[in-house]
Amino acid sequence: MERLIIIGGGAAGMTAASWARRLKPNMDITVFESTKMVSHAPCGIPYFTEGLFDDENLFMTYTPEYFVEKRKINVKINSKVEEVDLRSRTLTVRENQGNKKYEFDYLLLSTGAKPKKLNAEGDRIFYVHHPADASYIRQKLWSFDKIAIIGGGILGIEMAEALRARGKKLVLIHRGKYLLNKMLDEDMGKIITDKVGSEIELKLNESLISVTERGRLIVTDKGKYEVDATVVAIGVEPNVDLVKDQLKIGETGAIWADNHMRTSIENVYAAGDSTESINIITKKPDWVPFAPVANKMGFVAGNNIGGKDVTFPGVIETMITKFEEYVIAKTGITENEAKRHNIKTVSATVHHKTRARYYPGSKDIIVKLIAEANTMRIIGAQIIGEEEVLGRLNMMAAVIQKGFTAEELFFVETGYVPPVNRVWDVVTLAARKLYTGISAE
């Protein structure tokens, strides 16, 4: 009987396990998960911290028992893989009863990402990453009054929303010139920066020097902040320590894999946040540690392990977050990134509304589209709005992935009904501006 071992029971690992099981009903499939949760994703932690729900089991799409009973997958929680030998195809796992050795025919590395750490220690320093820690962190954070958030990326602003809603006094310290500067161009990022800055204390362009006093004293190149606790949200990195000397690591620092999620070692696969991919636009290695990509990589790995030839098309870096009433999204590349890749671009931005002029409750929506100048293919989109952002984002992801020109996007037969749109959709208008070069009303 073929043995598949999966290290990491997050989105990618459990998706792969499920698809391998469907295709190979007799395969022996074991998942080792170091925490008590599987099929989890950290995306819900800010909303749990905000107090929008209390049951931490809701972080899991399915429970370990579900996988064991319904899908005949051996899920071992609280089981940390201590050592892997890819050559002898064995691994050592620390389980409740002590260390145990396993052999595999197929291995999937879905070890995920881990938060980047400060060079500082203290019981008032909190990293928000794994749902298994969410209850502890929430209980702690709720007990403090003044909290610093280090980092103005997606997690930073989500935690800012959450802690502000809990009535905390916040200071958000960010190294960049504006918030979400890895996700948005400055013109769009400025809108969010102004919004967040109108509600909480914002320190931009500040580099961290030290966090001391157990997490209660922050010193930057511009100031000192005394707080009760520090939340660190300075990004994540691929969790590859277990295998990094035994297989090819890509230039992003994540595990290299081909478009079948095969690593450089035969029958060893990688999927999810631990894994590098290729950017469809730049054709360069890229690393996108978000759940939808992890799930699809897991699908591809599971199918290929199961014997079905399925190809992962690469990534375009779709991102979406929310700060209070603003949903903020991007897909494809920004103008900033395009410059770094020497891609000449043109862009068009349209401020519009989500409902007909006369229909009550109309909200703002802003769309920025970016096209490659010589082909006029759409390569990036940034959207900020109070409703109907998600669908337009996904539309733009489809458009970018398939290489629509601005003209083709303009001519998409969009829908119109007054309660949910304007007759010229904001995306159509932005495409028209790119296509015609005319900024018509």
302-321 positions binding its own copies, by CB under 8 A? 312-313, 315-321
252 near its own copies (CB under 8 A): no
| CA 173/CA 362 separation, integer angstroms | 34
Least distance in angstroms from the C-beta of 55 to its own copies? 7
Contact 261, 158 (CB under 8 A): no
Taking the C-alpha atoms of residue 369 and residue 317, their distance in angstroms, rounded to an integer, is 15
Give whichever of 44 and 122 is closer to its own copies, judged by the CB atom.
44
Contact (Cβ atoms closer than 8 angstroms) between residue 74 and residue 97: no
Question: In the bound complex, what is the minimum distance in angstroms from residue 76's beta carbon to its own copies?
Answer: 22
CB of 66 to its own copies, least distance (A): 10
Q: What is the footprint of its own copies within residues 6-25 (CB under 8 A)?
A: 11, 18, 22
d(CA 361, CA 359): 7
Using CB under 8 A as the binding criterion, the count of chain residues that bind its own copies stands at: 77
By the rule CB under 8 A, 420 interacts with its own copies: yes
**Closest CB 396 distance from its own copies, rounded Å:** 8
Q: Where are the alpha helices (DSSP H) in 206-308?
A: 291-305
Q: Is the CB of residue 134 less than 8 Å from the CB of residue 148?
A: no
Of 192, 293, 369, 370, the residue at the interface with its own copies (CB under 8 A) is 293
Task: Choose, by CB under 8 A, the member of 184, 425, 433, 434 that binds its own copies.
Answer: 425
Q: Which of residues 27-86 bind its own copies (CB under 8 A)?
A: 41, 43-44, 47-48, 52-53, 55, 58-59, 61
Q: Closest CB to its own copies among 107 and 430?
A: 430
| Interatomic CA distance for residues 295 and 318, integer angstroms | 14
Across 120-143, b (16+ Cβ under 10 Å) vs e yields: bebebbbbbbbbbbbeebbeebee
Using CB under 8 A as the binding rule, whether residue 348 contacts its own copies is answered as no
- Single out the segment in contact with its own copies by CB under 8 A; choices: 105-113, 216-224, 243-251, 385-393: 385-393
**Piece of the chain touching its own copies by CB under 8 A; list 102-110, 218-226, 294-302, 338-346:** 294-302
Q: Is 160 in the site for its own copies (CB under 8 A)?
A: no
209 binds its own copies (CB under 8 A): no
State which of positions 388-417 bind its own copies (CB under 8 A).
388-395, 397-399, 401-402, 404, 408-417
- Residues 349-378 touching its own copies, rule: CB under 8 A, are 356-360
- Name the active-site residue from 23, 43, 165, 346: 43
Minimum distance of its own copies from residue 312's CB (angstroms): 7
Q: Cβ of residue 426: shortest distance to its own copies, in angstroms?
A: 10
Choose one: 223-231, 233-241, 327-335, 345-353; the region binding its own copies (CB under 8 A).
Answer: 327-335
For residue 54, the minimal CB distance to its own copies (Å) is 9
Retrieve residue 119's tokens. Answer: 């060079």
Q: Which of 226, 237, 232, 235 is nearest to 273 (CA)?
A: 237
Cβ proximity of 258 and 245 under 8 Å: no
The smaller minimum CB distance to its own copies, of residues 225 and 269, is found at 269
d(CA 154, CA 50): 15
Helix (H, G, I), strand (E, B) or coil at 236: strand
Q: How far apart are CA 130 and CA 147, in angstroms?
A: 20
Q: How long is the chain?
A: 441
Of 182, 214, 322, 353, the one binding its own copies by CB under 8 A:
322
CB of 343 to its own copies, least distance (A): 19
Of residues 41 and 208, the one with the C-beta less far from its own copies: 41
Nearer to its own copies, 188 or 288 (CB): 288
Residue recorded with tokens 């020097």: 209
> Which pair of structure tokens corresponds to residue 336?
């900033």
Give the 3-state secondary structure percentages of the chain, helix then strand then coil, rounded to 5: 30, 30, 45
- Any catalytic annotation for residue 63? no
Residue with Cβ nearer its own copies (265 or 376): 376
Please say which residue, 2 or 324, places its beta carbon nearer to its own copies: 324
Choose which of 291, 336, 353, 363 interacts with its own copies (CB under 8 A): 291
| Burial per residue of 400-426, b for 16 or more beta-carbon CB atoms within 10 angstroms, e otherwise | bbeebbbebbbeeebeeeeeebbebbb
Question: Does residue 276 touch its own copies according to CB under 8 A?
Answer: no
User: How far is Cα 371 from Cα 407, in angstroms, rounded to an integer?
Assistant: 11
**Taking Cα atoms as reference points, which of 220, 131, 129, 135 lies closest to residue 174?**
220
Q: Which are the catalytic amino acids?
A: 43
